[in-house]
Amino acid sequence: MASVNDIGIDLGTSQILIYMKGKGIILREPTVVAIDSDSHSILAFGDEARRMVGRTPSNILAIRPLRDGTIADYELVSSMLRGFVLKAVGKHLFARPRAILALPTAVNEMEKRTLISTMFDAGMRRTQMLNRSLAAALGAGLPMDEAYGAMIVDISAGVTDIAVISFGKVIVSDCIKAGGDRFDDAIIRHLRRKHNLLVGERTAEELKVNIGSAIPRAEQLYMDVTGRNLITGLPKTMRITSDDITEAMDEPLQQLIEGIHGVLEHTPAELAADIFEYGILLSGGGAELFGLCEAIADTLKVPCSCADEPQTNVVMGCGRALENLHDLGQYLDDGRRRLLGR
pLDDT digit string, tens, across residues 28-39 = 999 999 988 888
> DSSP letter string over 44-83?
EETHHHHTTTTSS-TTEEEE-SEETTEES-HHHHHHHHHH
Q: What are the residues whose beta carbons fall under 8 Å from the beta carbon of 321, sequence distance 6 or more?
A: 8, 100, 130, 135, 138, 328, 329, 331, 332
Q: Which pLDDT value is given to residue 339?
A: 45
Residues 123-141 have a mean pLDDT of 91
42-54 pLDDT, tens digit per residue, is: 888 899 888 877 6
Residue 305: exposure state from Cβ atoms within 10 A (0-12, 13-18, ≥19): middle
Q: Determine the pLDDT at residue 338.
A: 46
CA distance 198 to 322: 45
Q: How far is CA 43 from CA 16, 79, 85, 122, 189, in A?
A: 18, 11, 17, 19, 31
Q: Which residue has the higher pLDDT, 222 or 340?
A: 222
More confident residue, 280 or 124: 280
- Tell me whether strands 98-102 and 7-11 are parallel, antiparallel or unpaired: parallel
